[in-house]
Structure 1
Amino acid sequence: MTTDAPDSGSESGPGELPPRPDSDTGEPFPPHGLSYLGGKQQPHYTDPTREQRLSHRPDPPPGKGPVLAWHRESRSGKVMNVIVAFLLMLALVAGVSLVRGEGLSAFQYWQLWIVIAVFTFLTSSPFTYLTYAAGADWLMVERSRWGVKKRTWIDLYNLTKVDASYGGTTFHLWLHSKEGGFSRSTEELQRDRRIWDLTYNGILHSVASGAQVSNQAVGILQLNKTPALKLRDTGKRYNL
């Protein structure tokens, strides 16, 4: 795995965007991106819920630079998710049974245990692993289910559309490029802050270059606190 990025990142002058990192070396690494909701993140090598074995690090997309940051849930993390989902289902069933004045008698029906097992399986997805990876100019999501892998990636510095919306306790981000696009929640993209920093810097540069961005995305991503919108509008005015 790569080492953590420095807190300050690369400095840029007033009205300028942080520099774009070199596609081969990843230097200079971008500064921390705004709209980060994860708080202070513990070092990746001390997190028991994420994969540490380099054999699980994904390969970069064809023709792209090296992986600078990646996150994949570990087996112990998956087991923890299953346990939490199971306990939540037990609590839900117990709560409904108590409210109906039946005590805990609901648990005596074997059919209910099948329902609990099915919902636990569906909510925890124990055999599905998602890997998030980013390089200097790309972002990729790889899904592994029953050993079958499927990946999607986008060019962060050639985005054509950026959108975002609130959803529960987090918000969802839509990133589109000419090659396609995808939607992920910020909870997913911010599991490793380095992934978010690389992604956010690409968004800034794409918006400054004229990418379409919704009003919701401007607010959620705090783009009005960056020079990206001003640079984009200036470019449109003078057809740059």
Structure 2
Amino acid sequence: MNPDLPPKPDPQTGEPRPPAAPGHFNGLKEPQPYDANKVPSGPTAALEWLYGTRKSGWWSAATVVVLIIAFLTFKSGLDWVFAWPTWLFMAAAGVAFWFLPRNTKMAAGADWVNAGGDTIYTYELVEIGTSGTPGSWELILKDQRGNVDRGNIADYQQNPLLWDLVFNGIRHSVAAGATIDPETYRVLKLDEYPNPPRSRRGGIGV
């Protein structure tokens, strides 16, 4: 193990917690209760998890409206403000995203993450990439076993403690030689000095 990197947490206890990963967090204020029907399983205990709720629809709706406003302002200045069809379109888009099913389901253990598809072994990554634009970056992870996952970084970061676990594995994999392009390195803020570990209130899923 690289002595300059934080250690991998114990699979059962989750200790020691990895340092706080860099990022912008607008998600959970309190841990969600463990629900076996909503938390993806993995090879060891799930230490952190995230699943969609009706409340999370407000974030989706607000994000869509903000992105529409930013796009319209960039394209035509503030002229759109005086066009009532534009306001009607934004309202319809916001309502539509609020009513979309909350299908987000992800969980992370000491050395794995499952975002609703393949289980990715985060300390065995061989390729790390991103696609998309600011505000909607997609994280692409591929491990030594051939498992591939594509998930929105904002979804991971809704549970900062989950993101800490995934990010620590990414750091170890990069140090071990995983392929990562300069843009992904910048988006993930891998050059930022780690913060102290966060604390969690609540139990561990088994």
Q: Tell whether the 8 Å contact from 1:133 to 1:141 is kept in structure 2 after alignment.
A: yes
Gaps of 5+ in 2: 73-78, 195-206
Mapped to 1, the partners of 2:81 and 2:25 lie a distance apart of 36
Which of 1 and 2 has greater Rg? 1
2:35 to 44, 51, 54: 54
**2:111 is the alignment partner of 1:137:** yes
Mapped to 1, the partners of 2:9 and 2:62 lie a distance apart of 40
**2:6 is the alignment partner of 1:18:** yes
Higher helix share: 1
1:179 to 1:226, Cα distance in 2 relative to 1, 3 A: farther
> Normalising by the residue count of structure 2, what TM-score does the alignment of the two structures yield?
0.68
After the TM superposition, which residues 7-156 of structure 1 pair with which residues of structure 2 at under 5 Å, given as runs? 16-34=4-22, 36-38=23-25, 42-44=29-31, 52=33, 54-61=35-42, 64-78=43-57, 80=58, 99=83, 116=92, 120-121=95-96, 123-124=97-98, 126-142=100-116, 151-156=117-122
Mapped to 1, the partners of 2:26 and 2:155 lie a distance apart of 14
> Normalising by the residue count of structure 1, what TM-score does the alignment of the two structures yield?
0.60
**2:152 is the alignment partner of 1:185:** yes
1:21 partner letter: P
Mapped to 1, the partners of 2:17 and 2:148 lie a distance apart of 24
After the TM superposition, which residues 205-216 of structure 1 pair with which residues of structure 2 at under 5 Å, given as runs? 205-216=172-183
Counterpart for residue 201 of structure 2: none
Gaps of 5+ in 1: 1-12, 45-50, 143-150, 228-240
Counterpart for residue 220 of structure 1: 187
Mapped to 1, the partners of 2:184 and 2:54 lie a distance apart of 34
1:135 partner letter: G
Task: Name which structure has the greater RCO, CA cutoff 8 Å, separation 6+.
Answer: 2
Q: What SS class does the counterpart of residue 210 from structure 1 fall into?
A: coil
Mapped to 2, the partners of 1:77 and 1:165 lie a distance apart of 23
Q: Tell whether the 8 Å contact from 1:173 to 1:183 is kept in structure 2 after alignment.
A: yes
RMSD: 3.8
1:76 to 1:215, Cα distance in 2 relative to 1, 3 A: closer
Q: Tell whether the 8 Å contact from 1:85 to 1:124 is kept in structure 2 after alignment.
A: no
